[in-house]
A and B are shown apart, each in its own frame.
Chain A
Amino acid sequence: MIIKTEKLTRQFGSFTAVDAISFSVSEGEIFGFLGANGAGKTTAMKMLCGLLLPTSGTASVAGFDVYTQSEKIKLNIGYMSQKFSLFTDLTVWENIEFYAGIYKMKPKRIKVHGAKLLQELELEQQKRRLIGTLPLGIRQKLAFSIAIIHEPRVVFLDEPTGGVDPITRRRFWEMIYDASARGITVFVTTHYMDEAEYCDRVSMMVDGSIMGLDSPARLKAQFDSKTMYDVFLKLARKAV
C-alpha cells in the first residue's frame, strides 16, 4: 500500500475538519478523492503531503510516516493544483529547471528528462516562451508533466482540470493514465463527476468523513444510481 491512513483526524479548535478517515491506496492506482467544498478534502491532502500535522490517527505515504518523515515524503511525491499552473513570468524551460531543481534532480538528468517532456508535449519550439503567453490548456498539461518530472511515487492533483475545456480535460486524463501505467500512483480531487468515472476507485467525503469508497461501478450499484453524479447527490443529501 503506497498510501495508508488509519483514523486520520484533524481538528481546528473545536471544529473537526477530517474525522477519523481510514483508507489505503495501492501502487499505480488512480484514486479519486471527492467531496463538496469544505468537506475536508484539502485538509486531508495537506496532511498526506506533510504540510499539516494530524491531530490523531496514523498515515503513511510511500512507506514514510507523516508525523516523523515528512521530509522523505516530500521527495517522493509530486503536487499540482488548478490554482497554480507554473510561474507565468518564467519561460517553459525555466519552469522545468526550477521545479526539477527544487526536487534535487541533477542538472544532467534535468536536461534529459526536460527534453523528453518537451518532445512529448510537442513544445520544443516554445521552450523559450514565457508561460504567460501559452493557452491555459497547454499550461495545465505542462504543469502535470513537470509535477511528475522527478518520477515521484505518488502525485497529488488538487482539482487539476478546473477551468479547462472538455477536450483538454480528456487529453489530460490520458496523461494521467500514462503516468499510472508507469507505476505512479495518482491521488486526484475533482468536482467533475464524469471524471470520477475515470478513476480506479473513488472515495466520497462528506463533513469530514468518508461515506463511500469503492470502484465507480460498485458505488453506483451500492447507491442504486445511474451516474456518479447521483451517488454524490445521494450521499451529500444524506449528510444534510
Chain B
Amino acid sequence: MKHFKIFVWKEFLHIWRDKKTLMIIILLPIIEVLLFGFVLTSEINNVSLGIKDLDNSLWSKNLILKFHNSEYFQVRMLHSAPEVENALQSNSIKAVLEIKPDAERKMRAGESGIIQLLLDASDPNIARTIEVYVNNIMASSLPRAQPAQSYLSIIPLMYYNQELKSVFKSVPGLMAVVLMLICAMMTSVSLAREKETGSMNVLLISPLKPWHIVIGKMIPYMAISIVNILMITALSYFVFGVPIRGSLLLFFFFSILYVISALSFGLLISTIVQTQQIAMMISLAGLMLPTTLLSGLIYPIRNMPGWLQRFSGIFPARWFVEILSHIMLKDSPVSYYLQPAGIILLITLILLVIATKRFKLRYD
C-alpha cells in the first residue's frame, strides 16, 4: 500500500503546485454562493411604484400611506396619463396603481373596477411578483364587510421556506453544480494530462495497478470536495440562514455519494479523450451545462417538456438536489428520498463499470 500512498501524495503535490487552479476550485464555490444568494433572487425590494390618485379621498390617502410604509415599494406620485407612460417607458417605475375617481364611494356601494394596476411585463417574473405583493397590501385595505367573491377562500401558507427565499433553493443546486465541476472536470483533465505527457505509460508499466491510478486520482479531489461542501454549507448557513433541518450525517453521506458519481463521470470522460483540452470541453459543454440547466437550479424541472424531464434524470444533479432539499429544508424521513438516492447509486455503478471496462480495454 505504500506505493499507492506515494501516488496519492504525488497527486496532492500536482494540485498544490498549480496555485491558480487551486485558487479557482477553492474560491469558486464561495463566489458562486454569494452571487446566487444576493443576485439570483425572485423576491423584490424597493420596487418603484407609481400611484395616480384620482379619488383623493381619505381612504385613498390611507392606502397610499400603506404603500409608503411598505419596505417593498418606493412610491412616486404621478398625475397625468403622459406622465405615467413616460415613467413606464423610461424604466423609472415598474408598475402604476391608478385609483379611479370616486373609488371610496363606489367601493362602499359594492361596485368593482375602482383600482387599476398597470405592470411593466417586459420581465414577466417581476411583474407577477409585484402583482402578488400589491394584492397583499390591498387586501388589508378593503373593508371586512366586503362580501367575499367566493365562499372558498385560499389562504396560502408557505411551508419550509416562509419567506420564499430563493437562496434556499439555490444552495442545493449550487452544490450540485460546483461539485460536478470540480470532480468531473478536474479528474478527467488530470488523467488526460498523464496521457498527454506520456507519463500514463510509465505509471502503467510500474507495479501500480490501474485501480491504484484511478482511485489515487480520485482521493485528492474528494478531499477538496469535502472542503467545498463544508464551505458552502457554512457560508449559506451563516450568511443566508439556510438551515440543515435534517441529519447532518445523512447530509454528508449523500453529498459524498454524489461526489463519487461526479468522479465517475470524470473517469469515463478520461477514458474517451486523449488531451486535456478535449477533456475540459466535454466536461464543460457535455456535463456542466446540462447540470446547471437541468438540475432545477435556475429553471424548475416541472416546467420542462416531458421528454426533457426524463432526460434530466440521467444527470445525478437532479436527484441530488431533490435529496438535499429533503434533508436541508424538510427533514423528511429517509424513505422519502430513497428513490433518488437509489438512482444516483445506479448511475454511479453504471458509469464505473463502463469506465473501468474502457480503462482496461485501452491498457490491457
Chain A residues proximal to chain B, CB less than 8 Å: 49-53, 71, 74-75, 77, 79-81, 83-84, 87, 89-90, 94, 97-99, 101-104, 130, 156
B6 in the interface (beta carbon within 8 A) = yes
Complex: how many Å from CA A172 to CA B249? 58
Tell me whether A84 and B197 are in contact (CB under 8 A).
yes
Complex: how many Å from CA A125 to CA B12? 25
Tell me whether B198 and A102 are in contact (CB under 8 A).
no
Total interface residues in chain B, CB < 8 Å: 23
Complex: how many Å from CA A90 to CA B16? 10
Complex: how many Å from CA A90 to CA B206? 18
Complex: how many Å from CA A156 to CA B201? 12
B310 in the interface (beta carbon within 8 A) = no
Extra pairs beyond A87-B14, A89-B13 (19, CB < 8 Å): A52-B364, A74-B206, A80-B202, A81-B201, A83-B197, A84-B201, A84-B202, A87-B199, A90-B10, A90-B13, A90-B14, A90-B17, A98-B6, A101-B3, A101-B6, A102-B203, A102-B207, A102-B208, A156-B205
Tell me whether B10 and A98 are in contact (CB under 8 A).
yes
- Which residues of the partner chain B approach A77 to less than 8 Å between Cβ atoms? 205
Number of residue pairs A-B, CB distance < 8 angstroms:
69
- Which residues of the partner chain B approach A75 to less than 8 Å between Cβ atoms? 207
B208 to chain A, nearest CB (A): 5
Complex: how many Å from CA A71 to CA B7? 18
Tell me whether A89 and B18 are in contact (CB under 8 A).
yes
Tell me whether B7 and A102 are in contact (CB under 8 A).
yes
Complex: how many Å from CA A19 to CA B197? 29
| 9 sampled A-B residue pairs with Cβ under 8 A | A51-B201, A74-B207, A77-B205, A79-B201, A79-B202, A79-B205, A84-B199, A98-B10, A101-B7
Complex: how many Å from CA A97 to CA B3? 10
Complex: how many Å from CA A99 to CA B13? 14
- Which residues of the partner chain B approach A87 to less than 8 Å between Cβ atoms? 10, 14, 199
B13 to chain A, nearest CB (A): 6
List the 3 closest pairs (A to B, CB-CB), nearest first. Answer: A83-B198, A101-B6, A84-B198
